[in-house]
């Protein structure tokens, strides 16, 4: 929870790459059919902004937005059939709140949220990957956390359910994270998160891309982070994310560089 008038913000840039997928049964396979495509990959890059603001002692507002470039590439065994499909834009806006359930050594909170599709996306061709969802989604989650006795560390976990107003399926989500200071000013964190959709689509590059934007995928992802703290609660961080298993999901790796800062209070 943020104190009244206190603002926290994180700005980041990222790049994601994947040339394999987990199919609808969870098995690894090439993103494109090797009999037809010599090599292929799915790339994403972009920037995001995440912010929290303490409205009152019992309400923290949360918002995030990202701009994304998605690039689907395939080198066909027949040169004339090579594919390069590009999309870019701002897919949606996310708003939420954090409401305390308990305070003290163990902190728990309720976390409602809504994602509004902007669909402010430029698609170069009909084959270009879709970015973001096509419908409004509503999420309700809860989180719990506590500090560790050494290293200024902490552990926290959360989970919830996300419902969509349109055709794409609903999903369960969850995460767990642990962090500590190893030696000033260096901090380390390790995060695991998961998404479990109510149904998934069959595999194939097109299906994976559609599944990613619609939510019809299962995945488990890990994310170790090295952070360098500076004065006033600000920090630079470097994160590597890896999708380690899933169904109808891209087997991807992502690098993120971020700067987080604790802004001045307004009260």
In a domain, 32, yes or no: yes
pLDDT of the chain, 267 residues: tens digit per residue? 788 889 999 999 999 999 888 888 888 988 877 777 777 888 999 999 999 999 999 999 999 999 999 888 877 766 656 677 888 999 899 999 999 999 889 999 999 999 998 877 777 777 777 777 778 899 999 999 999 988 789 999 999 999 988 766 789 999 999 999 998 899 999 999 999 987 655 545 444 554 455 556 789 999 999 999 987 779 999 999 999 999 888 899 999 999 999 776 655
User: What phi, psi does 209 have (nearest 5°)?
Assistant: -65, -45
By residue range, what is the domain housing residue 256?
7-262
In a domain, 267, yes or no: no
Is 96 contained in some domain? yes
Token pair for 54: 């303490």
164 φ/ψ angles, rounded to the nearest 5 degrees: -110, 145
Q: Tokens 């359910």 identify what position?
A: 161
**Residues 19/42, Cβ–Cβ less than 8 Å:** yes
Neighbouring C-alpha atoms within 13 Å toward the C-beta of 184:
4
Number of domains present in the structure of the chain: 1
In this structure, is residue 50 part of a structural domain?
yes
58: left (phi over 0), alpha (psi -120 to 50) or beta: alpha
**If DSSP codes are grouped into helix, strand and coil, which group holds residue 79?**
helix
Give the predicted TM-score (pTM) of the model: 0.87
CB half-sphere exposure, 95, CA atoms < 13 A: 3
Q: Residue 7: beta bridge partners?
A: 53
Peptide bond before residue 197 is cis, with ω within 30 degrees of 0: no
Is 160 inside a domain boundary? yes
Give the other-Cβ count within 10 Å of 188's Cβ.
15
> The CATH number of the domain where 162 resides is what?
2.40.128.130
Domain for residue 2, yes or no? no
Please indicate, yes or no, if residue 1 is contained in any of the structural domains.
no
Domain presence at residue 15? yes
């Amino acid at each position: 929870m943020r104190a009244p008038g206190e603002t926290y913000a994180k700005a980041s840039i990222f790049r994601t790459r994947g040339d394999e997928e987990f199919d609808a049964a969870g098995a690894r396979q090439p993103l494109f059919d090797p009999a037809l495509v010599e090599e292929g990959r799915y790339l994403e890059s972009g920037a995001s902004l995440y912010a929290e603001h303490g409205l009152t002692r019992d309400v923290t507002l949360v918002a995030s937005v990202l701009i994304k470039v998605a690039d689907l590439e395939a080198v066909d065994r027949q040169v004339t059939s090579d594919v390069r499909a590009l999309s870019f834009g701002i897919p949606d806006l996310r708003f939420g709140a954090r409401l305390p359930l308990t305070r003290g050594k163990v902190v728990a909170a309720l976390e409602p949220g809504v994602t509004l599709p902007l669909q402010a996306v430029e698609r170069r061709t009909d084959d270009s990957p879709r970015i973001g969802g096509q419908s409004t989604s509503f999420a309700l989650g809860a989180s719990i956390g506590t500090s560790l006795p050494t290293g200024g560390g902490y552990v926290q976990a959360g989970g919830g359910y996300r419902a969509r107003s349109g055709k794409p399926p609903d999903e369960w989500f969850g995460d767990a994270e642990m962090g500590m200071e190893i030696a000033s000013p260096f901090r380390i964190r390790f995060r695991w998160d998961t998404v479990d959709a109510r149904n998934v689509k069959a595999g194939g590059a097109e299906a994976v891309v559609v599944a990613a934007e619609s939510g019809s995928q299962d995945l488990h992802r890990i994310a170790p982070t090295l952070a360098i703290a500076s004065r006033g609660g600000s920090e630079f961080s470097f994160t590597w994310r890896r999708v380690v298993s899933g169904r109808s999901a891209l087997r991807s790796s992502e690098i993120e560089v971020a700067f987080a800062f604790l802004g001045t209070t307004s009260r």
